[in-house]
Amino acid sequence: MSTFWDRVAGLYGLVEHSNSAVNTAAARVAQLVPAGAKVLDCAAGTGLFSLAAAERAGSVLCTDQSEAMLRQARKKAARKGLKNVSFAQRDIAALPDPDGSFDVVIAANVLHLLGAPEAAARELWRVTAPGGRLVLPTYLQGKVGAACGAMIKIYQGVGFHYEHAFTPETYREFLERLNLAPVSLEVVEGKVPEGIGVLEKPARAG
């Protein structure tokens, strides 16, 4: 069955580029990827964050529930000549990977869409390796101005839906309530601001 994300896959890149905060956030997230790291990007959409991470990573697994989104991501990776990005259709809430599989796990602009974002964040944390990073850039839709608020209502009219309108304060509170690790949060201003949450998993003793 076609979903909203399948239907908008061909235009999603234009939507992202209309909000410069997203592109800025992708560049900053790429700086958090150690050279040669093994990276998982969940709910990757058309691959903006995956492709940014690939500039430094050893390998990137770009995943999304929408195959139409992944087709767009594959095309973008091919145009950039990136050979270290692979693709898979995955459910963020039920990952097949063993514990601690990835040095960096990214899930960008998805937590606000989920009815149970806590469970998703814990699943992402599970597959983050000891000493690794969980990076959670998220739209702060509770901080948008009137013009962007009107645009969001138009999106809702064609099937878009979100569960949470985070502000910088409520997003930090959400991440801290997970009680997984100390929280770093950077806010990137824009039409729809972006909060880049980072949690670092302690390395194993010895």
Per-residue confidence (pLDDT) for residue 158, from 0 to 100: 44
Per-residue confidence (pLDDT) for residue 23, from 0 to 100: 84
Per-residue confidence (pLDDT) for residue 7, from 0 to 100: 57
Strands, E assignment, the chain: 38-42, 59-64, 85-89, 102-107, 128-139, 183-188, 194-200
pLDDT above 50 for 157: no
For residue range 91-107, list pLDDT tens digits in order.
999 999 999 999 999 99
Query: 8: which 2 tokens?
Result: 């908008």
Cα–chain-centroid distance for residue 27?
Answer: 13
For residue range 103-144, list pLDDT tens digits in order.
999 999 999 989 999 999 999 999 999 999 999 999 998 765
Residues for the chain: how many in total?
206
For residue range 68-81, list pLDDT tens digits in order.
889 999 999 999 99
Q: Which helix (H) or strand (E) holds 190?
A: none
Sequence ranges of the domains in the chain? 4-200
On whether the 4-200 domain is CATH 3.50.50.60, my answer is: no
Whole-number percent of the chain with pLDDT over 70: 81
Per-residue confidence (pLDDT) for residue 154, from 0 to 100: 42
